[in-house]
Amino acid sequence: MLSKSIEAALNKQIRIEAESSQVYLAMAVWAEVKGLEGISNFMYDQSDEEREHMLKLVKFINERGGHAQISELNAPNVTFKSFKEMFKKLLEHEVFVSESINELVHISLEERDYATHNFLQWYVAEQIEEEAMARTILDKINMIGDDKGGLYLFDRDIQQLTVSS
Ligand code: OFO
């Protein structure tokens, strides 16, 4: 059985994962409108993954006798100055999510809720991968700079960057 405080903290994370899904959906749409299909598809996949992260939390809370909260969400950024800015925001967002997961891990240990602590390890591992992926992308985008041809090639190759779900 979840304590009220753990339940509230997990519910806060549901909202963060749902907002992440919207943040990445807006990026996917923007890239699509800009004609970069590879980047767009990549971001659509990221958006789907975040929804999976949210659903995992929903199931966990309900299975442990809590009540998952589905709340309203903040509107995401829908336009960007450049792809560099967009991917910078992606990395910043992942760092923010990692901090939130770390806080949850901290609370679960404080309350000696080892089931929740164990459950959260999947998110800890996931965040390591997602941050690394975002950094790799940003490094590549920084290398490309303003070169349109480079961006075209990157759009083709981004599909090959595998991201775990
Ligand atoms: Fe990429 O954040 Fe979910 O966990």
> Residue with the nearest Cα to atom 3 of ligand 1?
50
Please give the distance, rounded to the nearest whole angstrom, from the Cα atom of residue 65 to the centre of ligand 1. Answer: 24
pLDDT digits (tens, 9 = 90+) for 41-71: 999 999 999 999 999 999 999 999 999 999 9
Most ligand 1 atoms within 8 A of CB, residue of 14, 15, 17 to mutate: 17
Q: Could you report the predicted ipTM of this complex, rounded to two decimals?
A: 0.93
Please give the distance, rounded to the nearest whole angstrom, from the Cα atom of residue 128 to the centre of ligand 1. Answer: 10
pLDDT score of 165 more than 60:
no
Residue 31 near residue 89, CB atoms below 8 Å: no
**pLDDT for residue 164:** 46
Task: Tell me the residue ranges of DSSP E strands in the chain.
Answer: none
The pTM of the full predicted model, rounded to 2 decimals, is 0.94
Ligand 1 proximity of 19 Cβ (cutoff 6 Å): no
Residue 39 near residue 151, CB atoms below 8 Å: no
Please give the distance, rounded to the nearest whole angstrom, from the Cα atom of residue 67 to the centre of ligand 1. Answer: 21
**pLDDT for residue 161:** 79
CB-hemisphere CA count at 13 Å for 16?
Answer: 18
pLDDT score of 156 more than 50:
yes
